[in-house]
A = this chain, B = another copy of it.
Amino acid sequence: MLRVAYQGEPGAYSESAAIEYFGVEVETVPCESFDRVFEAVQMDQVERGILPIENSLAGSIHRNYDLLMRHTLWIVGEHDLHVEHCLISHPGVRLSDIRKVISHPQALAQCENHLRAMGDIEIAAEHDTAGSVRLLRAQGDLSVAAIASRRAAEVYGMAVLAENFEDEPANLTRFLIVACTPVKPKRRAKTSIVFTLNNQPGSLFKALSVFALREIDLTKIESRPLVGQPWEYLFYVDFCGSTEEGKVRRALDHLGEYAPMLRVLGSYPRKEAS
């Protein structure tokens, strides 16, 4: 059975993403931290890792960009998870009984308007969404609710008081699948790279020209600080195409003329448009 490491506790959104992507027969392996997910893959304890890289409301998860650079794993797939927050309580509790809501700070922020509509209640931050449901059950306080996925409610035998509790319905998280060896998709692929540039006028324009001149479509650009070189950057770029295509290989050769450091993080099957 394929083993997939994810960060969080059973019922976490990352676990839901793994099940959506790999199907129900996957064995999901919870990890304490993103670092541990990378390690579990690198040390062959699991075949795959799944990592959130970007949320359509909150932006990039920079820690995972930095960890991709620090490790030598390959990106072998991507998946968009529609994040649907539920308000979760002990069974039999009514909404009007709730005096306190707990969850991860980002989930609380994404439900701000719905929480405000509940009137004078206490809001408290916990380490993660599924973990707050586990805590809810362990503490047994009927006046407390947690915000997490429907799956987290099921895992811990709790009830869903309200669904679609998020303020903005277009709430997607993009996950990357990582492995020790690359895949080589021939078409409908996406490629992720990271590179540095000399700090010269027009350097980023030249770097992007290698894609534009070959009509290669960029889907994402992210800059991260280059440690030890204040105000210089690592650029992470995603584009449509596979390193199996001559056009892409020539673009990367061309980019190598400008980029002191260039690394391909992987070519992988592109998700369907969401």
Residues of A whose CB lies within 8 Å of any CB of B are 54-59, 62, 80, 168, 170, 172, 174, 201-202, 204-206, 208-209, 211-212, 215-225, 227-231, 233, 274
- A208 and B219 form a contact (CB under 8 A): no
Q: Which among A58, A201, A220 has the greatest number of chain B C-beta atoms within 10 A?
A: A201
Return A190 CB to nearest CB of chain B, in Å: 12
- Nearest-neighbour CB distance to chain B for A212, whole angstroms, equals 4
Residues of the B chain whose Cβ atoms lie less than 8 Å from the Cβ of A219 = 231
A172 partner residues in chain B, CB cutoff 8 A: 230-231
Please tell me if the beta carbons of A55 and B223 are within 8 angstroms of each other in the complex.
no
Q: Chain A interface mostly helix, strand, loop or mixed?
A: mixed
Do A170 and B209 touch (CB < 8 A)? no
| Cross-chain contact B225 with A55 (CB below 8 angstroms) | yes
Which chain B positions have C-beta within 8 A of A223? 220-222
- Give the chain B neighbours of A231 by CB distance below 8 A: 56, 172, 174, 219-220, 274
Q: Known: A168-B228, A231-B219. Contact between A205 and B201, CB under 8 A?
A: no
Contact across chains for A227 and B57 when beta carbons are under 8 A apart:
yes
A215:B202 contact, CB within 8 angstroms: yes
Copy count, this protein chain: 2
Closest 3 CB pairs of A and B: A205-B212, A56-B230, A201-B217
A221 touches B220 (CB 8 A): no
Pair B227/A59 contact, Cβ less than 8 Å: no
A229–B170 touching, CB < 8 Å: yes
CB distance from A251 to the nearest CB of B (A): 12
User: Is B208 in contact with A57, judged by CB distance below 8 angstroms?
Assistant: no
C-alpha spacing A59/B69, complex, angstroms: 15
Q: Chain B residues with Cβ under 8 A from A62's Cβ?
A: 59
Contact status of A204 and B221, CB under 8 A, knowing A228-B168, A228-B170, A230-B274: yes
Q: Apart from A170-B228, A206-B212, list 16 A-B contacts with CB within 8 A.
A: A54-B225, A55-B225, A58-B225, A170-B227, A170-B230, A172-B230, A201-B218, A202-B212, A202-B215, A204-B208, A204-B221, A205-B208, A205-B209, A208-B208, A220-B223, A230-B274
Q: In the complex, which residues of chain B have a beta carbon less than 8 angstroms from the beta carbon of A57?
A: 225, 227
* Minimal beta-carbon separation of A71 from chain B (angstroms): 18
Residues of B within 8 A of A216 (CB): 201
Q: How far is the CA of A233 from the CA of B55 in the complex (A)?
A: 12
CA distance A216 to B200 in the complex (A): 11
Complex alpha-carbon distance, A6 and B56, angstroms = 29
Residues on B with C-beta less than 8 A from A201 are 212, 215-218
In chain B, what residue has the closest Cβ to A206? B212
Shortest Cβ distance from residue A227 to the other chain B in the assembled complex, whole angstroms: 6
